[in-house]
Structure 1
Amino acid sequence: MTIHEVEDIDATALQVYLLRVRHPADDADRLAARAGLRPGEVTRAEALLYGLGLLQPSPAGGWVAVSPESAADQLLAPVEADILAQRITMAAAREQFQSLSGEYVAARGMRSAEISIEVVEGIGNTRAVIDDLARTCTESVETLMPGVPTDEAIDAAVPLDLELLSRGVGIRVLMQHSARTHRVGLRYAETIGAAGAQVRSAGTLPSRMLIYDRRCAVLPLDPLHTGTGVALVRDPSALSFLCQVFDHCWDDGIDIPVTAGAGEAGDGVPNGLEREVLRLMAVGRSNDDIAEQLGISRRSVSRLVSQLMAHLGATSRFQAGARAALNGWLG
């Protein structure tokens, strides 16, 4: 009997086993009489116990009960030998794979040097490449994130970002102002911001972009259909230009507060988005102009304008701008 074929020891088998410990010389009829069982039930129970190694034939006739420990050793010895052999095989395989690590890093470095722009197609391959870049990143990750992120995108990004931050990698994320008034965008900004990332927003962004260690940039092949694939840019000249684009957009960005409720007017000093709205109000921009420039809805602009005017006690947009300037909020 193998370990996969071990049967449960029922009450009858247990009773027969304990009686065999005390009466090894009894025949089946005698043991059946002691147990109040039929001889056939005793015979079936003894066959089960023999298969488990708990009974062994006695040279003098009858059965000898074997200790559970000895029976277990006899039954499990082949299994333990197989497990030991598998562990040895696994250790050898792991050592063989680990011996390839140096060659892999060297080959990857050669690929980076030889291929200045690499095209990766398909969502699955794209995710694998991004996972690899994140895993080998050591210094920084910089992201341009136009539009409003989806729940799926955030669920995929947050674990990677938190793992990078835990390794001391610096993260800068630039989102659009519209993300400030969106639940998913705020959740992402607050989650990674609380873990040490820098998060800002800007009115418009040129394209989705990821830059790893300032050595490789990831750009979508089709900005409108991110699942089609990406281009990996390692060419020094092109990469330098993309880093300058990011820095220019970042310098124009406004910090997103880590605290909950970012983007809403409160009783204290206005946050970054509110300052932008006040500044544009002060120079006479309409709600439509403000919405277009900041990349948020006209409804959001109207709500912010009303809250800011109430907060400043202003009866006109000009008066609100003047009072904000006196408070030093437009600097």
Structure 2
Amino acid sequence: MTADEPTPAERNLYLSALAGGGRLAPPPTADPAALAGLVGRGLLARTANGCTAVDPRTAGDRLTAELCTEATGLLLRAEHLPEVLAPLTAAYDDAHRPAPAVNGSSRVEGRAGIRQRISELISDCGDELLAAQPGRRPIEGLRMASVQDLALLRRGGAIRTLYQPVALADRAVAGHAALMAGYGSQIRVLHEPYPRMLVFDRTVAVIPDAADGISAVFVHNPATVAFLVSLFERDWARACALDRSAGAPHPTATRIGRLLARGLTQRAIATRLGLSERSVAGHIARLRELHDAETLFQLGWRMRGARDD
């Protein structure tokens, strides 16, 4: 079965079949390519007397199931990829990872270089990430953080993040915070200024080196890192817990998201939960907004790993 949408010629031929009582008698006078396309998509079924129109919902469910199966296979390949690339990753680290400077720190310039170095640190982080994130967060950095932070949480690491109210006023940041909290990340809000920093396993800290954010200092000195950790803990103690009540999804929406992640179609979910398809569609729309997912595939990926009820 093909996965693209019916062409205009195929749509017209299908409507012609419906106008003829749902059947196309042989020999068909239609475009052979359009006929073959409809049969390939499951919208027409060949019979001894020609072709019969098939309910588009049935064909759609079959096609959706095939796409979900293909998507699940791609997700499994994506999860296995880091293990496959592990030897090459280790070789890259040995060849390119910068050594600490004499004073216990190294300076990296440029957003691309900073993100690359932070990505390496998150991949190596085994126990805990402390993140103080005042102000707004760039959307491109937030998307990268979603994938990396989830990977850290899934392998048993802990994340504690401080935000300011102005950051959580951004829908993308609020959605990211809700997603991370759903996977066990601890998030607090501090209504006062504090320095931006990241601390990995309490051994490496990252702080900005310029107000424009295009350079950063990676601190390795144990005494300096310990001092930065003490600043974070002081601010953490004064912060309040994230109020998730306003952004948390309804329990039914959570179940729908988990079933989507398992590959069920919207219609199948409605049948399983005893809901109308319109109700399920409404819950999915709110989940996509909460998790900043543009497609059902993205939503399934971000809900993947949650336990079903």
TM-score, normalising length: structure 2: 0.48
Q: TM-score, normalised by structure 1?
A: 0.45
Structure ID, larger Rg: 1
The higher relative CO (CA closer than 8 Å, separation ≥ 6) is in 2
